[in-house]
Structure 1
């Protein structure tokens, strides 16, 4: 018997006598049409079993394939790689992301299978950055992620691509990159365009080949007529993103694998026999099992899949990773607009009221001053009440989209993956609990009794069937340990940023051995969107400032923080320092004729102006007033003489 390589058919052929037929058959060769009347295979792993029978050409092919296979296996697990990959100025990929992009860059089909939160989106964009030949790309994703994809593409792409979102009203835009959600994919002729790249985010959306979304991507073949009912979407490159590339039922992965690499995964039935423990049952074929999973993983890693888990790359990750997920407002756009208008009107009214208060104080008329203060308080109360109402409306309108986002997370992750969800309003908590009940959900609000609170926590921490915790930020944001999850989702923002940080730390506590992913879900162009981006940016700055020596396994405790806090409280200001602070405030106020440093680059900003002017105009400052003024001196120190700063004690 001799093993040869047929260049025309790209196949290994076992040339053997009839009595030797069981050797290639046992190895996995097939008596096939690939090479007529011969045992043949296109699978290198199968051919390698007969390397002892190979001629020189076949041996060389197998050795080269073995080297490539090992290279792919190493890259598919690599936690870091120090190579140059095109990246926008000011940004960079994490080391393991570079390894993922390196794995993908010379392939026509790739499955990014990293665990949730490790940046599959960024790696997919990195693939585009390494392929300047990609000029037309289609990104297919859940509806809740369309805007997020648009922003990430705009942020990470190095070349000037035009990007837009398709919908049924405008059709398919004439842009370089088109983003569309699965639900409307079948309603437009995407298969009539020759795409350079088709990318499927949350690729498990097409796991059922009978669905409209799967048929829109893969096509719908009429076996009897041997023609396409619906042609597949053509593409030179194909990318799939999935946090669970091999689900508990491996049969569900075949549709994705077949779309990515038809040559390797051509036959559903044979795939299920090998990897889904397919067998004849009482009522026909049963294919919900699993078999040869090590072989399946090895085959995927050596060809198309890169996958790392959080534990593999923990050293590369910060203790907390935060992101703002922008949801399309759609039916809530009128409420978003009303929120913006109310906010602008209230801000203008408050500014006028603050100015009136300061003028009344400066006049020395105590009655006028007290009236102005009461007016300001009244306006603040009305503003808070009206804004609270519209924010509640927005939160209730957003809740179904939040539930959809969490459903996508749970469907796209392992069955033991858990999510913590925080909301502000009871109505939102109820909507989320009702929508997620099939995943096993517990909840805590202000109405939850103490014994029931602990029972809910225990269920979430220990019961594999309970995958979701939904809590009110105030009621569940402190005092609880929820380390069974590494994923926190905020359906709403609290008015107090400190409450947000406290809620995050329900997952990020002693006993948490992984990095925690925090997501803020906001409507596009809403007040929450602006607040969330500001909060995330500030929290990351604070984390970097405080956590230079941070170790995830040795968190700073409250007891350790107290001495430093006590020392700061006991530091008293001298008379000279109080006078210097007063002089500094007067210096700043003297340059601040417009109460807004945005106008001329000096003085206070709009929010600090009232305090700064009030303190500057005072005859003398008390200790408490001086401490308040010191905060402003620190904030605006670049506008002050160095000699004055030295007197205050600021180096």
Structure 2
């Protein structure tokens, strides 16, 4: 009864990876992680609590691993080198090829010029099959291009891994090549230079089997619909709309795909809901948005159509409205043909063609006849970001390869004018001056001086022997903490009826602000990325409705998009986002329809620091975006922003 337990309970092997089940040993996880190990945490997994380790990584220094394990156990378990190595050898003699295929899903899609594209969950056996079939690994999208038929590839994978038929997603949407035409930032955009010691650049792997090609599903071309202006006006007769909104609804309804790029706060959601309902005529509608905005979308739909059947995050054939977020798009690829209309909210999220949700978005769009794109910031950093949205819509300009697109439309003001002319019928953009009730927005920068101690700390971080991105992040976090004292002084100057949104880039700053506001007896709510959707909504509702809750402190990534915070008439940035579009999105949580007061935006900038470089970079990017989407306001915007420095 006093016999010591074996350290290793069980070992399995599938020909590629080992699975090891052992007693808990404090510190053992670090040893396994150093060898690219993966701990299986999911309770429903057949190998729950096993460590999965690649064969090569485990066997290369097995004796060293064993002795380090034994040091950690302090002789508490019954295990010797002979028993330990014998268990691994026994597993190798009787491999179980299906050991790690539980939950594995692979996706096969046809290519326009023959062959297939293989992607999905990682398994070394799938990599081995792809290599044997002379596949080319597409590093950007983590998929394999294989010159073979779907059936042959699937058969080989089944033979190798013992997969079942239902572990494959077989798509019939043809994938087209999108060449890698990404461009370096224009010279006219300010770069941030920290100085300090030079950092070695990582060497690029020279692998002949790796390609930068990107493939996305072929989407139908944009077509004009049968709707006349008279028919649309008749359909809108029962709706209460602002003066500019019927034109936005007509823009969507008269095309099978279009971009509604109205300034934030002009009601893009309401316009898209009505257009989709008219177009769908009781057929299903898929809404894609940020996870934090799902509740907002449900509320907006119910305000227009109180009896609407709405489902969140799942496919329900009995519901007309299905709302999901970008991360869950893969769950809807096989049901794509079910939908009549696809609404893509915050569509600029699809700017990166190599992202998994972009690939899934294209797979769905290829099957949905009507695709409505919504974003107030179609361009965040450079012209090429529009290419993915144009391609998703089926616009002729989107049919160009990314390389051709960049050659024709990117890099100069004249090229941007050509692009603006080419997409004028596809993109509808209105500014906030269409809302006569808005009192305006005023942006003010405030100079901040570092104390001697703060300057020493700033320079210490700036000159550290660390990669520039790591130093940059630490410097931004330091400057946010410096600005806390500045913002607290500004709060003392406000009137009792004023409400303020405080935007930060770091969660720790939000916590500092909450503590300071509580100490000063200011009613304060906070939102950070780790908060649940329900918790965020409660904070928003309290800020909007409770007169004693005057401060809303949040990270820009968590609360800078989609939410209605019109109770605030001040917005302050302790840290700036990387693009002017994200800055505008954040500011316009307050400056939108329903705002009855002038909105004042205060931006403290610390003298002689990266703050000023980042601000200038935002001015440069704002000019580029203005050339494309607001040419008439471009010169005025730059002059106004420059004057605020």
Higher helix proportion: 1
Computing the radius of gyration over CA atoms, which structure comes out larger, 1 or 2? Answer: 1
Q: Same fold (TM over 0.5)?
A: no
- Normalised by the length of structure 2, the TM-score is 0.37
